[in-house]
Amino acid sequence: MFFNFNFKVTNKRVLKKINKVNLKLTKKVIIMSLATLEGTVAFENLNEHEMYNGQSTGKFSLVVSLDDATADELDAKGVKLREYEGVKQRKFSSKFDVPVLNPDGSAFSGRVTRGSKVRLLYTDGQPHPVHGIGTYLNKVKVLEVAEMEGAEDF
């Protein structure tokens, strides 16, 4: 399932502030594209910042395994995907706390485990010649929580 929403900034006050930053957008309209997709959690860092080489990246992230149809749609938009054991994956990240919700919209408590089915609300970033279009995470809705593997061994 794939949806797009467009929001336009036409407020003169906001456009004046943008002009002060020398972006030279005198009468242009800024469009922010929001989209949703569903997938299966491969890796999650939603409760603390992800670590790389022992250092915090300052970002929260979620790596999602995608079905072929969703992967093809992202690929057509210019989003680069990785493949792990024959399954396409994409990382979504944010510098800000990401709200995690239950299917009914209430706040989710606990960790989102590997294999959980989720729906993401994300924003497309600017195109990059090498890395493709970035994906910025806005919200996560946990549709189905997966059981932790190997928990019965303890």
Give pLDDT tens digits for 102-130.
Answer: 999 999 998 999 999 999 999 988 888 88
Per residue in 132-149, pLDDT (tens digit) is: 898 999 999 999 998 876
Beta bridge partners of 139: 121
- The runs of H, that is alpha helices, within 51-114 are 68-77
Instruction: State residue 23's pLDDT score.
Output: 47
pTM above 0.85, yes or no: no
Assess contact for 45 and 61: CB atoms under 8 A: yes
**Number of separate domains in the chain:** 1
The pLDDT of residue 16 is 61
45, part of any domain: yes
Convert the pLDDT of each residue in 29-44 to its tens digit: 545 578 899 999 999 9
Domain membership of residue 18 (yes or no) is: no
Domain membership of residue 90 as a residue range: 33-153
Q: What is the pLDDT of residues 54-109, one digit of tens each?
A: 999 999 999 999 999 999 999 999 999 999 999 999 999 999 999 999 999 999 99
For residue 152, give the 3-state DSSP assignment.
helix
Q: Which residue has the higher pLDDT, 41 or 12?
A: 41
Q: In this structure, what are the phi and psi dihedrals at residue 73, rounded to the nearest 5 degrees?
A: -65, -45
In a domain, 90, yes or no: yes
Q: Tell me if 1 is assigned to some domain.
A: no
Q: What are phi and psi of 75, to 5 degrees?
A: -60, -40
Domain membership of residue 10 (yes or no) is no
CATH of the domain at 62: 2.40.50.140
In a domain, 24, yes or no: no
DSSP code for 147: P
Q: What pLDDT was estimated at residue 149?
A: 67
Q: What is the pLDDT of residue 4?
A: 52
What is the C-alpha to C-alpha distance for residues 54 and 147, in angstroms, rounded to an integer?
28
**Amino acid at the residue 96:** F
The one-letter amino acid at 59: K
Q: Over 50: is that where the pLDDT of 26 sits?
A: no
In the predicted structure, residue 18 carries a pLDDT above the cut 90: no
Q: Is 26 part of a structural domain of the chain?
A: no
